[in-house]
């Protein structure tokens, strides 16, 4: 193991230093707050596609999905299938909101309800907590690598990982995030392809997988191992996470135009659907080789450190580290954007001065990273952590966004009720063992409760009388204080067409 550390640690440190170097190079192009937080709204198809794919192939769909497949076989592919469906639905339903000049998802939600401040405040708080929670999951994944490789205690490893992607994000802002994500996305795709193919060959192909895994885990998508409803719930909860997680919306807001968003998301979603099989193959191979791992989330580093030559293992570990970094940096910068654009205004009634926005962004990043370390202590496995977070926070938010965008009768009271009912249903299911066992996770009852509450309360409350044009004007005037997205867009029907 000492010899291995002489290879693995320099490889991991070298990857982090490369990303920091890219962040420093990008920082020279950062002139103002819009550059720092939204990459100047000039991102093209390659960066939208590459950074979106890298975030999709994050901690859950790499470390988490390999560990999940270790236990549940082909069910490990459900994570990728759900993520691909989510990004393609996001493209279809929401790509055209790029035209409105939004800066955060809270702004977008507020627009759907007549620039309502209550909606904006509630969504801002929920999404800030969700961003920090996602960031905590990525810190967990990266820390697991370091602990496994070095024997470092968990708390120290989490601090090291947070600093790893925190430094280049603080230095270069959102453009550094998307450029480094595109690099890391390439490493991820190549690394996981190598891992899956070589692991499959090592265990003797699909015949070896069948011999080394239980019969029910070999069923179509592991449905016999999980049960139909839990399997469906897992795919749906991941799709909901993509549809309602603010880091994917940030790609829309920072793209050059609507066409760029659609092309980038289409390519990323297609590639991710193909990718979904790789973690499942890797996890099942690990189970065939070593069925007695104490922590299933260690299946990936187990394969990388025991199955392959040192140099190849080092490359695979860098690919795994890229999964945590490429997702963590996105959630960090999104959390800061929400904090400065929405939460600060909610608490103080003011927005930061434009000439101090970059400085405040960098200070806020340090604070967000520190808070994420606390959130990372709330769960023992990555998949449990992520599904609990999504079902509790994001399902009601997704329903509220769909009602507000596509149903003219939706009211702000209905939107808030949908969010509250979704969270309440999730908490009930998650805290009653028999319900949790039946559903797998709380996403389906949470979605149903949110939809019923949103529709009923909207019908019982007065219609929204604020036009789209007036709502856009109010939000644009607020952004003008930051000198970010000051152009006021005209009224436009809410459809998914250009």
pLDDT of 198 reads 86
Q: Could you count the other beta carbons within 10 Å of the beta carbon of residue 242?
A: 26
Query: Does 496 fall in a domain?
Result: no
Q: Could you count the other beta carbons within 10 Å of the beta carbon of residue 423?
A: 22
Query: Does 359 fall in a domain?
Result: yes
Domain limits at 33? Answer: 2-382
Q: Per DSSP, which regions of 144-236 are E strands?
A: none
DSSP state of 318: H
Q: How far is the C-alpha of 87 from the C-alpha of 365, rounded, in Å?
A: 26
pLDDT of 377 reads 60
Query: Does 393 fall in a domain?
Result: no
DSSP state of 216: G
Q: How far is the C-alpha of 76 from the C-alpha of 209, rounded, in Å?
A: 14
Map residue 150 onto helix, strand or coil: helix
CA 121 from centre of chain: 21
Q: How far is the C-alpha of 300 from the C-alpha of 429, rounded, in Å?
A: 31
Query: Does 309 fall in a domain?
Result: yes
DSSP state of 496: S
pLDDT of 87 reads 96
Q: Which residue from 69, 22, 6 is spatially nearest to 322, judged by alpha carbons?
A: 22
pLDDT of 486 reads 44
pLDDT in 10s for each residue of the chain, 498 residues = 455 556 666 777 777 777 778 777 776 666 666 777 787 888 999 989 988 887 787 655 666 788 889 999 999 899 889 999 999 999 999 999 999 989 899 999 999 999 999 999 999 988 887 777 777 777 777 777 677 666 677 777 777 777 777 777 777 777 777 887 787 777 777 777 888 888 898 898 999 888 888 888 888 888 898 889 989 998 998 899 899 888 899 999 999 999 999 999 999 999 999 888 888 999 999 999 888 887 787 787 778 777 767 777 677 667 666 667 767 777 788 888 888 888 888 888 777 777 777 777 878 877 887 777 776 665 555 545 555 666 677 889 999 999 999 999 999 999 999 999 999 998 898 888 888 888 888 889 999 999 999 999 999 999 999 999 999 999 988 887 775 654 444 444 444 333
Q: How many domains does the chain have?
A: 1
Q: How far is the C-alpha of 488 from the C-alpha of 43, rounded, in Å?
A: 21
pLDDT of 384 reads 58
Sign of CA dihedral 245, 251, 254, 259: negative
pLDDT of 236 reads 92
Q: Which residue from 185, 188, 163 is spatially nearest to 16, judged by alpha carbons?
A: 163
Q: How far is the C-alpha of 12 from the C-alpha of 144, rounded, in Å?
A: 13
What is the 3-class SS of 244-278, one letter each residue? HCHHHHHHHHHECCHHHHHHHHHHHHHHHHHHCHH
pLDDT of 498 reads 37
Query: Does 390 fall in a domain?
Result: no
Query: Does 459 fall in a domain?
Result: no
H helix runs in 341-442, sequence order = 344-348, 357-375, 382-389, 395-406, 412-431, 433-439
What counts of helices (H) and strands (E) characterise the chain?
24, 0
CB 422 within 8 A of CB 451: no
Q: How far is the C-alpha of 377 from the C-alpha of 152, rounded, in Å?
A: 16
CB 104 within 8 A of CB 301: no
Record the tokens describing residue 62, joined without a space: 């790499």
pLDDT of 301 reads 76
Query: Does 387 fall in a domain?
Result: no
Map residue 467 onto helix, strand or coil: coil
pTM: 0.85
Q: What CATH number did the domain enclosing 314 receive?
A: 1.20.1730.10
pLDDT of 174 reads 77
CB 431 within 8 A of CB 464: no
Query: Does 394 fall in a domain?
Result: no
Map residue 283 onto helix, strand or coil: helix
CB 411 within 8 A of CB 459: no
Q: Per DSSP, which regions of 112-218 are E strands?
A: none
Roughly how many angstroms between the first and final C-alpha of the chain, as a whole number?
Answer: 57
pLDDT of 454 reads 97
């Amino acid at each position: 193991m000492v010899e291995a550390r002489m290879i693995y640690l320099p490889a991991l440190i070298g990857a982090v230093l490369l990303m920091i170097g890219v962040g420093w190079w990008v920082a020279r192009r950062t002139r103002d707050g819009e550059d720092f937080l939204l990459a100047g709204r000039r991102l093209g198809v390659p960066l939208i596609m590459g950074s979106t794919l890298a975030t999709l192939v994050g901690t859950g769909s790499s470390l988490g999905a390999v560990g999940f497949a270790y236990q549940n076989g082909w069910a490990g592919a459900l994570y990728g299938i759900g993520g691909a469906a989510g990004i393609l639905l996001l493209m279809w339903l929401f790509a055209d909101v790029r035209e409105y000049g939004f800066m955060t998802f809270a702004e977008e939600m507020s627009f759907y309800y007549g620039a309502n401040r209550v909606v904006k405040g509630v969504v801002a708080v929920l999404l800030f907590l969700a961003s920090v929670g996602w960031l905590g999951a990525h810190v967990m994944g990266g820390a697991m690598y370091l602990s496994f490789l070095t024997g470092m205690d968990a708390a120290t490893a989490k601090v090291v990982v947070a600093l790893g992607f925190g430094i280049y994000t603080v230095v270069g802002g959102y453009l550094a995030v998307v450029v480094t994500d595109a690099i890391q996305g390439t490493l991820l795709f190549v690394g996981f392809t190598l891992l899956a193919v070589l692991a499959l060959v090592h265990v003797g192909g699909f015949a070896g997988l069948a011999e080394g895994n239980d019969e029910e885990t070999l069923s179509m998508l592991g449905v016999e191992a999980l049960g139909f409803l839990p399997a469906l719930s897992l795919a749906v909860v991941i799709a909901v996470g993509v549809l309602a997680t603010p880091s994917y919306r940030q790609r829309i807001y920072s793209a050059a135009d609507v066409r760029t968003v659609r092309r980038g998301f289409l390519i990323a979603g297609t590639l991710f659907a193909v990718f979904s099989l790789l973690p499942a193959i890797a996890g099942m191979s690990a189970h065939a080789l070593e069925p007695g791992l104490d922590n299933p989330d260690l299946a990936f580093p187990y394969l990388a450190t025991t199955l392959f030559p040192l140099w190849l293992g080092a490359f695979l570990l860098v690919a795994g580290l890229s999964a945590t970094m490429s997702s963590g940096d996105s959630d960090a910068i999104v959390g800061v954007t929400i904090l400065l654009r929405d939460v600060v205004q909610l608490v103080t009634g003011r927005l930061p001065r434009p000439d101090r926005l970059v400085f405040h962004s960098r200070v806020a990043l340090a604070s967000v990273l520190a808070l994420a370390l606390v959130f990372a202590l709330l769960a023992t496995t990555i998949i449990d952590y992520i599904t609990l977070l999504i079902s509790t926070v994001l399902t009601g938010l997704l329903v509220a966004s769909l009602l507000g965008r596509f149903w003219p009768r939706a009211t702000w009271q209905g939107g808030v009720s949908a969010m509250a009912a979704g969270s309440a249903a999730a908490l009930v299911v998650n805290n009653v063992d028999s319900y949790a066992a039946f559903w797998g996770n709380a996403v389906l009852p949470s979605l149903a409760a949110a939809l019923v509450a949103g529709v009923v309360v909207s019908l019982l409350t007065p219609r929204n009388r604020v036009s789209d044009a007036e709502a856009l004007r109010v939000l644009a005037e607020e952004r003008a204080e930051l000198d970010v997205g000051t152009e006021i867009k005209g009224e436009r029907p809410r459809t998914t067409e250009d």
